[in-house]
Structure 1
Amino acid sequence: MISFTKEGTGRPIILLHGFCETKEMWKTFSKDLSTSFTVFCPDMPGFGDSPLPTEELNLETVAVWLSEWMEEQSIHHPVVIGHSLGGYVTLALAELIGSSLRGIGLFHSTALPDTEEKQKVRNKTITFLKKHGVDKFLDSFVPSLFSEQHREAESGVIQELIQAGKKTSSQAAIAYTAAMRDRKDRMELWKTFSNPKLMIAGELDMAVPLESSRLHKDFTDIYHELNGVGHMGMFEAEKESLRVIRQFLDLV
């Protein structure tokens, strides 16, 4: 069962959260965009209020679960925008159901697979989670997602995200870390996906380096870099991010 919020009327938009995040992170975006669209914000299985299924987890199975949820909710031809892990799932969903998605967006995410160095970091994360659990991991992980210059101003948001993330079990966090480590290269899918594509990148993003984001630019309908922003543009540059998303939604 997938827990979700639904707000507004009009063409459907699905906003997918990232790793150890929940649907609540989108509340400002959902409220703003719901004046023109129907906005769905699900908790992906294993996060927030959505239980972790017993089946083996990878990005492809998450995409299947989401497509089944879309059918149950009669969500047809949505625009799907995913943050980080949510972007990886968006691409897996695009691979699964293709042009039935009206448009797709990567928000601090990438179609490229993990580098060998990044895979080693994932393995260290799994080791840490097994030894110390989610709570201790989130206390250091979440602040690092924000650029240094925004951490103090966003300290309240950071604490909210940490508390929301603590709904995640160690089992789910480990399973998703492995799924991200082992994900496929979907750059060819990004290049060939026929409907409109959006990419929002952070100049100071430590999780998705800017040089990686720029490799997508020539194949993207709207590509936008947020100056001075880390991995959390929906908070670090809220108004600018919303403006770019609305600009994209005018295309689809």
Structure 2
Amino acid sequence: MSCIHFFEKGKGQPLILIHGYCETGNMWLDFAEALSNEFRVLCPDLPGIGNSPISGHQLSLEEVAVSLEEWMESNQIENPILIGHSLGGYVSLALLELMGNRIKAIGLFHSTAFADDTDKKAMRNRTITFLRKYGVEKFVTSFVPPLFPENRREELSGEIEDAIEDAKRCSLNGLIAFSGAMRDRKDRLELLRQYSGPKLLIAGTSDGAVKIEASRAQKDTFTHYFELQGVGHMGMIEQKSETLEIVREFCQAVISPA
């Protein structure tokens, strides 16, 4: 039996929304509600996040993918559409590698198929050191605001506070484990290129975590590609209506191709 905690809304084609780093499945509440009229929307907490347990402080994305596959089997989730934000995109790609054509479509939301470069790996190591020294609350309070464009942080202050509170539901072991898993993940661009199903990438031109240059470098790999002007790493909050419609139209196209 899977230990993955999740919530679901709606019936029909399964649509799995996978949260990012310093987030829980609750980040998708508004999306799940809006999409539940057309899809069976499922929002899991990854291991060590929210209400999903973790043992230890090390894991790989491949291990996470196995846990999610077992969770799908336990809950009769077949041929899902996967949409992953940031870390959730990396997890989605690991699932794609594991499950292949049992994945109906995949979407990366402010994410990338590239592996971490040397600078990013060093940053992950600094994150682990900081977490071990100062703990979750101090880390997420400093980590979350820069995910949003500086010129909109005052306007979005309420949403940022909500995101910080959600991030506090991540365990210390979970954040350390996923920092290492992201650092050590492999490049999956060729896997994505060979996958014949529908593929979505949503990128922000002001994203400080996944640079727009990296998104443009893999643009041709995707069947559906969108750039959000002036948007940082949190498009589902910064431009909720627009990104919701992008996801909805992508999923509609998947189940009813022209």
Considering only aligned residues, what root-mean-square deviation do their CA atoms show, in Å?
1.1
Specify which of 103, 106, 110 is matched with residue 104 of structure 1.
106
- The TM-score, its normalising length taken from structure 2, stands at 0.95
For structure 1, the residue ranges without an aligned partner over 5 or more in a row are none
Number of aligned positions between the proteins: 252
| Change in 2 beyond 3 A, CA 1:204/1:116 | same
Query: Take 2:58 and 2:129, find their aligned partners in 1: how far apart are those partners?
Result: 19
Specify which of 218, 221, 224 is matched with residue 219 of structure 1.
221
2:97, 2:191 within 8 Å by CA — same for their partners in 1? yes
CA displacement, residues 197-230 of structure 1 (integer Å, 9 cap, x when unaligned): 0000011000000000112211111100111100
Residue in structure 1 matched with residue 209 of structure 2 by the alignment: 207
Specify which of 157, 160, 163 is matched with residue 162 of structure 2.
160
For structure 2, the residue ranges without an aligned partner over 5 or more in a row are none
Query: Take 1:114 and 1:134, find their aligned partners in 2: how far apart are those partners?
Result: 23
Deviation beyond 3 Å, 4+ runs, structure 1: 53-56
Residue in structure 2 matched with residue 116 of structure 1 by the alignment: 118
Residue in structure 2 matched with residue 241 of structure 1 by the alignment: 243
2:58, 2:176 within 8 Å by CA — same for their partners in 1? no
Amino acid at match of 1:39: V
Identity of aligned residues (%): 54
1:56 deviates by 4.5
Are residues 1:140 and 2:179 paired? no
Residue in structure 2 matched with residue 63 of structure 1 by the alignment: 65
Are residues 1:18 and 2:20 paired? yes
Q: SS where residue 250 of structure 1 aligns? A: helix
Query: Take 1:182 and 1:213, find their aligned partners in 2: how far apart are those partners?
Result: 20
Query: Take 2:231 and 2:159, find their aligned partners in 1: how far apart are those partners?
Result: 15
Residue in structure 2 matched with residue 48 of structure 1 by the alignment: 50
Amino acid at match of 1:104: I
Q: SS where residue 54 of structure 2 aligns? A: coil
| Change in 2 beyond 3 A, CA 1:79/1:185 | same
Amino acid at match of 1:4: F
1:251 deviates by 2.2
Query: Take 1:115 and 1:178, find their aligned partners in 2: how far apart are those partners?
Result: 14
